[in-house]
Amino acid sequence: MKIHFVVLISFTVLVSCNTDQRIEVQVKQPMPEKRPHEMTLHGNTRVDEYFWLRDDSRKDPQVLAYLAEENQYFDKMMAHTKPLQEELFKEMTARLDPDESSVAYEQGGYWHYYRYEPGGEYAIYARRKGSMEAEEELLIDGNQRARGHDFYRLGGFEVSDDQRYVAIAEDIVGRRINRIQILDTDSGKFLPDSIDNASSGMAWSADGQYLFYLNKDTETLLAYQLMRHTLGTDSSEDVLVYEETDNTFYTSVWRSRSQAYIFLAHQNTDTTEVQVLPADEPLGTFKPFLPRETGHEYAIDHVGDRFFIRTNWNASNFRLMSASLESSADKSSWREVIAHRDDAMVQDFQVFDRWLLISEREGGLRKVRVRSLDGCTDRYLGAGEEASVMWLHSNVSVHTDTVRYGYSSLTTPGQVWEIDLNTGTTRLLKSDRVLGGFKRDNYRTSRMVVVARDGAQVPVSLVWHQSTRLDGTAPALIYAYGSYGSSMDPWFDDSVISLLDRGFVYAIAHIRGGQEMGRKWYEDGRLMHKKNTFTDFIDVTKSLQKQGTIDRSRTYAMGGSAGGLLMGAVVNMAQELYHGVVAAVPFVDVVTTMLDDSIPLTTGEFNEWGNPHEKAAYEYMLSYSPYDQVSAQDYPNMLVTTGLHDSQVQYFEPAKWVARLRDRRTDNNRLLFHINMDAGHGGASGRYRRYLETAQEYAFLVDLAHPEQRAQNSDMK
Q: State yes or no: is 646 an active-site residue.
A: yes
CB half-sphere exposure, 226, CA atoms < 13 A? 28
DSSP H helices, 489-633, are 497-500, 519-523, 531-546, 562-573, 590-594, 606-609, 615-624
Bridge partners (DSSP) of residue 641 are 584, 674
Beta-carbon neighbour count of residue 162 at 10 Å?
A: 12
- Annotated catalytic residue: which of 536, 646, 647, 703? 646
From the centroid of its chain, how far is CA 654? 18
Beta-carbon neighbour count of residue 436 at 10 Å?
A: 15
**C-beta separation of 78 from 711 below 8 A:** no
**C-beta separation of 585 from 651 below 8 A:** no
Q: State yes or no: is 196 an active-site residue.
A: no
Q: State yes or no: is 681 an active-site residue.
A: yes
Closest by CA to 643, choosing from 672, 670, 673, is 673
CA-based diameter of the chain, in Å? 79
**C-beta separation of 555 from 541 below 8 A:** yes
Q: Work out whether strand 223-230 and strand 239-243 pair parallel, antiparallel, or are unpaired.
A: antiparallel
The Cα–Cα gap between 574 and 561 comes to: 20
> What beta strand segments (E) does 259-414 contain?
261-267, 272-278, 287-288, 298-303, 306-311, 319-323, 335-338, 344-351, 355-362, 365-372, 378-380, 388-392, 402-409
User: In a 10 Å sphere around its CB, with 0-12 CB exposed, 13-18 middle and 19+ buried, how is residue 510 labelled?
Assistant: buried
Closest by CA to 581, choosing from 644, 626, 621, 532, is 626
Bridge partners (DSSP) of residue 426 are 419
The Cα–Cα gap between 401 and 406 comes to: 17
Instruction: Give all strands of the β-sheet with 671-676 in edge-to-edge order.
Output: 443-451, 457-465, 505-509, 476-479, 555-560, 580-584, 637-643, 671-676
From the centroid of its chain, how far is CA 691? 16
Q: Which helix (H) or strand (E) holds 71?
A: helix 61-77
**C-beta separation of 289 from 325 below 8 A:** yes
**C-beta separation of 663 from 696 below 8 A:** no
Q: Which helix (H) or strand (E) holds 701?
A: helix 690-705
Ramachandran class of 525: left when φ > 0, alpha when ψ lies in -120 to 50, beta otherwise: alpha
For 268, residues 6+ apart whose C-beta sits below 8 A from its C-beta are 248, 249, 250, 604, 607
The Cα–Cα gap between 114 and 126 comes to: 6
Closest by CA to 358, choosing from 379, 343, 342, 376, is 379
Beta-carbon neighbour count of residue 520 at 10 Å?
A: 15
- Annotated catalytic residue: which of 561, 625, 647, 685? 561
Tell me how far apart the terminal alpha carbons of the chain are, to the nearest angstrom: 55
Q: What are phi and psi of 635, to 5 degrees?
A: -125, 155
Bridge partners (DSSP) of residue 190 are 183
- Annotated catalytic residue: which of 258, 408, 681, 685? 681
Q: Tell me which residues are annotated as active site.
A: 561, 646, 681
